[in-house]
Structure 1
């Protein structure tokens, strides 16, 4: 029942042009609003009810519930208005808005693709599709991930879904997927036991999916050291859906190229409490070493930092370690390095002086900047205008090259993406050294291939020889100064 009486100061009236219906619904849900929305398309009419940020009901031409919602969101043009109602209809939609909008977008994409290319889903070939197995104890999360991965044009096929590790092991034997997304905490068999079984019985690329928190960081590092290629956060309703989907697709595609036969568990000697592995000072560093890792690069990075940080003091150097993980992992990884490797490490969460013998931990997607502060080299988060940069690592490399010139060494490990290589080019032109992990030894070599093809790599080195190669680079730098 529509109430047409409107108080004098009930709000604004106006027109929004060129707005997508899914954007408007997403805004209402994120703000926890309640709204009855009437949508018109030519002579077709649909209604969507949102209560306290949840989509509870939709009706369209005699259809109700989820199917009605999808029909309405498939309309690419039309008009809408909010209406007041004195009653709340019975709930016919039980999925969360995140899933509903993603599924609607997938259906729109599919409808457009079939219209343009005149083929049906049954005629599409699976041979050139990436075959993924989703392992998560939440049926809802399995559906959301499946919807995100199988969007039109993704060339990804979800060949199976499992609710625990035991089911996953059985399906891997049966389906031989190209990649597995693996939850951390599950009943029957958890993620830790599952990845051990996968790497022993039937190795394949594994991407860990989790909602990262303070207590889970160390567990994620353990997964990466057990053979997982990468980690990605589960989708959340507090962030833009399409942006999250794009990031997930990117990580899955690059992880699927991993050669898991190159994985080796990092053997780090256990240190006694009284044993000190390095002798850092507060002196100003004269040389800088930047170690960048990406998917598949964590084992090599932990091995390299364990051996490298203690030996850089004599060369008056600092080390910057860049991870391809969410931002909250910087502090966790710094603590992990202290405990696991006994090396002094700090997250780059503020402007910090680059001190001799110290390691500074940053995140691949967070812009960082090297600069002089009162004649002391420092590193810290870049200014606000850098936050929208297409490839944030460039800011770190360009500013480091400008300051340290031939006293800069960059080490690129498995999966270390360098974008359009603007930063690496400046490192090269400034006389700095660029050392690559030998590509045949890397789990994910494709990003390293691009560096070699651009003629920017000074040398490729076996993992066992990386520390020696860096030391020789430091000696060579000292001779040329």
Structure 2
């Protein structure tokens, strides 16, 4: 086989699903120009898409929401049962922070790109963003792609809401909406409170917290200053906030907002928060690292391990942005685990029948 033929053989085949001929042409023109991607067809609705998927066997697809005959969300449900594949939503309705965007991710999509907007007219910006997103969704392992039913998010018993004496801190950035939705579908219960500290804009984190609160049986809250951390709760917060963890005169863990020091990045809030948790709780701290281009947090995480706490990293192959897991897992110091293994650990930690991370590492 010649070099050109071999290069074409390795290309990822992309099916474009959109009822707008103009959008289809724009996407097709852009994808043709990308190395490693080849547009193989266009579908104007979900019914047509299902037929073309059987015929063309694409590796991934771009998908609109509003379409006749069968809309994008209805197609996602069927697709994830019949033939799971990476899906990038390209729709005016999948604006980051919107309920439709979160629903699309719950139904199995991996990421979204809003249309129309400045990217479409900004001289090559759209093409760069589209190419990056296609590369990322096509690289995610198929085991992380699934339709998450409401039942799977509502099956756990609620723990007593006692003041916390242990803590799970989750770190993440880009790609965490998808990953958290899938992770929670594997969690049976929550004993220690979880604080997911995300390096994302505060308004978007709060919108996601509101969505999860409506969809998940666990009590989910956007973390606010003065909050007393309680068992069984899942808290979301943004690095837009500089939060301090303190202990009151009754021994309760309280989160308080403070001014961010000058010349300090939002990501450095991750280190500061973890270090305060270790100072107060010692080995009763677990850190879980998720998706995102994270470049801070190693100092705090190292202190967790030194104090006898637990540190796990979600496997890079299931993360839309594997830079964070690679950054933390390099050298093999912290184990990379699957979503299912992470769900088991989050459910059982820190008491009753807890197993060591190393015993579960082989399930990654």
Q: TM-score, normalised to structure 2's length? A: 0.70
| Aligned match of 1:109 | none
Q: Give the counterpart of 1:371 among 213, 235, 244.
A: 244
Shift of 1:326: 7.9
Question: What does residue range 398-437 of structure 1 map to in structure 2 within 5 Å?
Answer: 398-405=271-278, 406=282, 407-413=284-290, 416-420=291-295, 422-431=296-305, 433-437=310-314
1:162 correspondence with 2:43:
yes
SS in 2 for 1:126: helix
String of CA shifts for 1:340-392, please: whole Å, max 9, x gaps: 333332235x64635223322246xx6453325797753669859779x6xx6
Q: Distance in 1 between matches of 2:129 and 2:260?
A: 24
The alpha carbon displacement at 1:399 in A equals 1.9
After superposition, the C-alpha distances for 1:13-56 in whole angstroms (9 at most, x for unaligned) are xxxxxxxxxxxxxxxxxxxxxxxxxxxxxxxxxxxxxxxxxxxx
Q: Following TM superposition, by how much is the alpha carbon of 1:188 offset from its aligned partner in structure 2, in angstroms?
A: 1.6
Unpaired segments ≥5 residues, structure 2: 356-364
Given that 2:96 and 2:204 are in contact with CA atoms closer than 8 Å, whether structure 1 keeps it comes out as no
- How far apart are 1:306 and its partner, in Å? 6.2
- The answer as to 2:206 corresponding to 1:355 is no
Q: Partners of 1:215 and 1:453 in 2: how far apart?
A: 31
Question: For the Cα contact (< 8 Å) 1:437–1:466, is it kept in 2?
Answer: no
Q: What is the Cα-based RMSD across aligned positions, in Å? A: 4.5
- Residue 169 of structure 2 aligns with which residue? 289
TM (norm. structure 1) is 0.55
Q: CA 1:386–1:433 in structure 2 vs 1: closer, same or farther (change >3 Å)?
A: farther
> Residue 327 and residue 372 in structure 1: after superposition, are their counterparts in 2 closer, same or farther (change >3 A)?
closer
Deviations 1:316-343 (A, max 9, x none): xx32236798865433432333333333
Give the alignment partner of residue 131 of structure 1, picking from 1, 6, 13: 13
Higher relative contact order (CA 8 A, sep 6+): 2
1:274-327 CA-to-partner distances (Å, cap 9, x unmatched) read x9824436x57763422646485244322256622xx22xxxxx3223679886
Compared CA separation, residues 304 and 383, structure 1 to 2 (3 A): farther
Inter-partner Cα distance in structure 2 for 1:148 and 1:368: 38
1:233 aligns with 2:118: no
CA 453–396 in structure 1, closer or farther in 2 if over 3 Å, else same: same
User: Which residue number corresponds to residue 361 of structure 2?
Assistant: none
Unaligned regions of 5+ residues in structure 1, if any?
1-121, 313-317, 477-481
Which residue number corresponds to residue 95 of structure 1?
none
Is 1:397 the equivalent of 2:255? no
Q: Which has the larger radius of gyration?
A: 1
Which secondary structure state, in structure 2, belongs to the residue aligned with residue 342 of structure 1? coil
Aligned to 2:132: 250
Q: Summarize deviations over 1:387-426 as a string: whole Å, max 9, x none.
A: 9x6xx6x33421222322345422235xx23544x32354
Q: Does 1:177 align with 2:51?
A: no
1:199 matched to 2:77? The reply is no
| 8 A contact 2:63–2:87 mirrored in 1 | yes
1:195, distance to aligned residue in structure 2 (A): 1.7
| SS of equivalent to 1:471 | coil
For 1:213 and 1:458, locate their aligned partners in 2 and report how far apart those are by CA, in whole Å.
34
Closer, same or farther: CA 469–189 of 1 in aligned 2, 3 Å: same
Query: How many equivalent pairs are there?
Result: 333
Q: Give the Cα–Cα distance (whole angstroms) in 1 for the partners of residues 329 and 269 of structure 2.
A: 20
Selected match of 2:221 from 305, 323, 346: 346
Q: Deviations over 1:220-279 (max 9, x none)?
A: 43433332223333351289835555443333211101232454544646869xx98244
Distance in 1, matches of 2:262 and 2:127, equals 25
